Amino acid sequence: MKARWTIINIIVTLYALIPVVWIASLSFKDPSTFTDGSFFPTKWTWKNYAGIFANDDFTRGLFNSIGIGLISTVIAILIGTMAAYAVARLRFPGRAAVLGFSLLISMFPQISLVTPLFQIERSLGLFNTWLGLILPYITFALPLTIFTLSNFFKEIPWDLEKAAKMDGATPMQAFRLVIAPLATPGVVTTAILAFIVCWNDFLFAISLTSSSAARTAPATISYFTGSSQFEDPTGSIAAAAVVITVPIVIFVLLFQRRIVSGLTSGAVKG
Amino acid sequence: MGHHAKKVTDGRRAERRLGWWLCAPAAVIMLAVTGWPIIYSVLLSLQRNDLRFPDRRAWIGLENYGTVLTSGFWWSAVGVTLFITIVSVAVELVLGMGIAMVMYRTIMGRGLVRTVVLIPYGIVTVAAAYGWKYAWTPGTGWLANLLPDGTAPLTEHWPALWIIIVAEIWKTTPFMALLLMAGLALVSEDALKAASMDGAGPWQRFRMITLPLMKPAILGALLFRMLDAFRIFDNIYVLTNGANQTSSVSIIAYHNLISGLNLGIGSTMSVLIFLIVAVIALIFIKGFGTAAPGQEGAR
Amino acid sequence: MGRRLCAALAAAAVGTSVLTACGSDDDGGVPLINLYNSPQQNMAAIVERCNEQAAGRYRIALNTLPRGADDQREQLVRRLAAADPGLDVLGLDVTWTAELAEAKWIREWTGRNAEEARKGTLVMPLDTAMWQGRLYGAPYNTNVQLLWYRSDLMPEAPATWDGLMKASALLAEQGKPHYGEVTGAQYEGIVVWFNSLVASAGGRILTPDGMRVDLGPPALKALEVMRAFATSKAADPSLSNTKEDDARLAVEAGRAAYEVNWPFVYASMASNKPDMIRDFRWAPYPGIDGPGRSPLGGANFAVSAYSAHPEASFQAALCLRDPESQRIAAVKDGLPPTIESVYDAEGMAKAYPMKRAILDALKTAAPRPKTPTYQNVSTVTAVTLSPPAAIDPPRTLSTLRGLISDALQSKGVLP
The pLDDT tens digits for A10-41 are: 888 888 888 889 888 888 988 777 767 778 88
> Neighbouring chains of A at 3+ CB pairs within 8 Å?
B, C
Question: Which residues share a beta bridge with B50?
Answer: B262
DSSP state of C236: -
Q: For residue A210, which residues of chain C lie inside 8 Å, CB to CB?
A: 63, 75, 79, 86
Burial of B65 (0-12, 13-18, 19+ CB in 10 A): middle
Q: DSSP letters along C167-185, please? A: HHHHHHHTTS--EEE---S
Could you tell me which of A117, C372, A264 has the C-alpha nearest to residue B177?
A264
Arithmetic mean of pLDDT, C378-402: 93
- Top pLDDT among C296 and A44 is at C296
Give yes or no for a contact between B224 and B83, defined as CB atoms under 8 angstroms apart.
no
Q: Report the b/e string of A44-59 with b at 16+ CB within 10 A.
A: ebeebbebbeeeebbb
Q: Is the pLDDT of residue A268 over 50?
A: no
Question: Which residues share a beta bridge with A245?
Answer: none
Per-residue pLDDT at B292: 62
State chain A's mean pLDDT as an integer: 83
Q: For residue A95, which residues of chain B lie inside 8 Å, CB to CB?
A: 19, 23, 294
pLDDT band for position A267 (cuts 50, 70, 90)? very low
Beta carbon pairs, A and B, within 8 Å: 276
Q: What is the pLDDT of residues C89-136, one digit of tens each?
A: 999 999 999 999 999 999 999 999 999 999 999 999 999 999 999 999
Is the bond preceding C387 in cis, omega lying within 30 degrees of 0?
yes
Could you tell me which of C325, C302, C296 has the C-alpha nearest to residue C314?
C302
Distance CA B159, CA B261 (A): 31
Beta carbon pairs, B and C, within 8 Å: 87
- Top pLDDT among C53 and A164 is at C53
Q: What is the pLDDT of residues C17-35, one digit of tens each?
A: 444 433 445 667 889 999 9
Per-residue pLDDT at C24: 47
Q: For residue C70, which residues of chain B lie inside 8 Å, CB to CB?
A: 259
pLDDT band for position A190 (cuts 50, 70, 90)? confident
Given B71, B139, B265, which is nearest C249 (Cβ)?
B139
Q: Is the pLDDT of residue A54 over 70?
A: yes
Could you tell me which of C358, C360, C393 has the C-alpha nearest to residue C194?
C393
Arithmetic mean of pLDDT, B18-27: 89
Q: Is the pLDDT of residue B3 over 70?
A: no
Q: DSSP letters along A95-107, please? A: HHHHHHHHHHHHH
Q: What is the pLDDT of residues A201-258, one digit of tens each?
A: 888 998 899 888 899 988 888 888 766 667 778 888 889 988 988 887 787 777 777 6
Give yes or no for a contact between C367 and C128, defined as CB atoms under 8 angstroms apart.
yes
Q: For residue A129, which residues of chain C lie inside 8 Å, CB to CB?
A: 16-17, 20-21
Could you tell me which of A198, A205, A196, A189 has the C-alpha nearest to residue A249?
A196
- Give the rounded distance of the alpha carbon of A92 from its chain centre: 31
pLDDT band for position A264 (cuts 50, 70, 90)? low
Question: Which residues share a beta bridge with C256?
Answer: C179
* Minimal CA separation from A230 to chain C, in Å: 6
Given A86, A103, A253, which is nearest B18 (Cβ)?
A86
Nearest CA in chain B to C100: B52
Arithmetic mean of pLDDT, C276-281: 91
- Top pLDDT among C143 and A6 is at C143
Arithmetic mean of pLDDT, B212-218: 83
Q: Which long-range contacts (CB under 8 A, 24 or more apart) does B104-110 make?
A: B104/A264, B104/B181, B104/B184, B104/B185, B106/A5, B106/A8, B106/A9, B107/A1, B107/A2, B107/A5, B108/A2, B108/A5, B108/A6, B108/A9, B109/A6, B109/A9
Given A118, A130, A231, which is nearest C13 (Cβ)?
A130
Residue C368 region by backbone torsions, left for phi larger than 0, else alpha for psi between -120 and 50, else beta: beta
3-state secondary structure at position C287: strand
Q: Is the pLDDT of residue B1 over 60?
A: no
State chain B's mean pLDDT as an integer: 84
Q: Is the pLDDT of residue C362 over 70?
A: yes
Per-residue pLDDT at C359: 94
Q: In what order do the strands lie in the sheet with C256-261?
A: C179-181, C256-261, C146-150, C280-283
pLDDT band for position C4 (cuts 50, 70, 90)? low
Q: What is the pLDDT of residues C381-390, one digit of tens each?
A: 999 998 899 9
Arithmetic mean of pLDDT, A43-66: 88
Question: Which residues share a beta bridge with B47?
Answer: B59
Distance CA C8, CA C10 (A): 5
Query: In a mutagenesis test of the A interface, which of B47, B130, B299 is the best target, namely the one with the most A β-carbons within 10 Å?
Result: B130
Give yes or no for a contact between C323 and C342, defined as CB atoms under 8 angstroms apart.
yes
- Give the rounded distance of the alpha carbon of B24 from its chain centre: 27
Q: What is the pLDDT of residues C146-166, one digit of tens each?
A: 999 999 999 989 999 999 999
User: Residues of chain C whose C-beta is under 8 A from some C-beta in B?
Assistant: 70, 73-74, 77-78, 81, 99, 102-103, 185-187, 236-238, 240-241, 249, 253, 372-373, 375-376, 379, 386-387, 410-415
Query: In a mutagenesis test of the A interface, which of B33, B49, B92, B102 is the best target, namely the one with the most A β-carbons within 10 Å?
Result: B33
Looking from the CA of B232 toward its CB, the CA atoms found within 13 Å total 35
Give yes or no for a contact between A185 and A258, defined as CB atoms under 8 angstroms apart.
yes
Percent of chain B topping pLDDT 90 = 33
Q: Is the pLDDT of residue B5 over 60?
A: no
Q: Measuring CA to CA, how many Å separate A141 from each of A79, A191, A196, B126, C365?
A: 11, 9, 10, 19, 52
Q: Is the pLDDT of residue C8 over 70?
A: no
* Minimal CA separation from A167 to chain B, in Å: 23
Arithmetic mean of pLDDT, C33-47: 92
The answer to whether C9 contacts A74, with C-beta atoms less than 8 Å apart, is yes
Give yes or no for a contact between A145 and A194, defined as CB atoms under 8 angstroms apart.
yes
Handedness of CA B240, B246, B247, B250 (dihedral sign): negative
Q: DSSP letters along C41-105, please? A: TTHHHHHHHHHHHHTTS-EEEEEEPPSSHHHHHHHHHHHHHTT-TT--EEEEEGGGHHHHHHTT-
> Neighbouring chains of C at 3+ CB pairs within 8 Å?
A, B
Q: What is the pLDDT of residues B66-80, one digit of tens each?
A: 999 999 999 999 999
Arithmetic mean of pLDDT, B273-292: 83
- Top pLDDT among A164 and C86 is at C86
Q: Is the pLDDT of residue B146 over 60?
A: yes
Per-residue pLDDT at B282: 87
Give yes or no for a contact between C223 and C391, defined as CB atoms under 8 angstroms apart.
yes
Q: What is the pLDDT of residues A95-140, one digit of tens each?
A: 888 888 888 888 888 888 888 898 899 889 898 899 999 999 999 9
Q: Is the pLDDT of residue C174 over 60?
A: yes
End-to-end CA distance of chain A: 30
Nearest CA in chain B to C415: B73
The answer to whether C17 contacts A224, with C-beta atoms less than 8 Å apart, is no
* Minimal CA separation from B201 to chain C, in Å: 51
Q: Quick one: angle between helices C188-200 and C374-385, nearest 10?
A: 90
> Residue B234 belongs to what H/E stretch?
helix B234-239
Per-residue pLDDT at C67: 84
Q: What is the pLDDT of residues B166-201, one digit of tens each?
A: 999 999 998 888 778 877 877 778 888 888 888 878
* Minimal CA separation from C39 to chain A, in Å: 7
Per-residue pLDDT at B8: 58
Whether the model clears a pTM of 0.90, i.e. scores above it, the answer is no
Distance CA C21, CA C26 (A): 12
Count of C-beta atoms within a 10 Å radius of residue C151: 14
The answer to whether A122 contacts C84, with C-beta atoms less than 8 Å apart, is yes
- Give the rounded distance of the alpha carbon of A218 from its chain centre: 12
* Minimal CA separation from B115 to chain A, in Å: 6
Given C17, C67, C84, which is nearest A223 (Cβ)?
C67
Distance CA C105, CA C90 (A): 11
Per-residue pLDDT at A269: 36
The answer to whether B71 contacts C412, with C-beta atoms less than 8 Å apart, is yes
Could you tell me which of A63, A270, A31, A34 has the C-alpha nearest to residue A155?
A270
State chain C's mean pLDDT as an integer: 89
Q: What is the pLDDT of residues B95-122, one digit of tens each?
A: 999 888 887 777 667 777 777 877 888 7
Q: Measuring CA to CA, how many Å separate A86 from each of A100, A179, C77?
A: 15, 15, 44
The answer to whether B185 contacts A263, with C-beta atoms less than 8 Å apart, is yes
Per-residue pLDDT at B126: 84
∠ CA(B128), CA(B245), CA(B233), 5° rounding?
35
The answer to whether A67 contacts C14, with C-beta atoms less than 8 Å apart, is no
DSSP state of B286: I
* B292 in contact with chain A, both atoms CB, cutoff 8 A: yes
Q: Is the pLDDT of residue C145 over 90?
A: yes
Q: Is the pLDDT of residue A147 over 80?
A: yes
Distance CA B152, CA B163 (A): 11
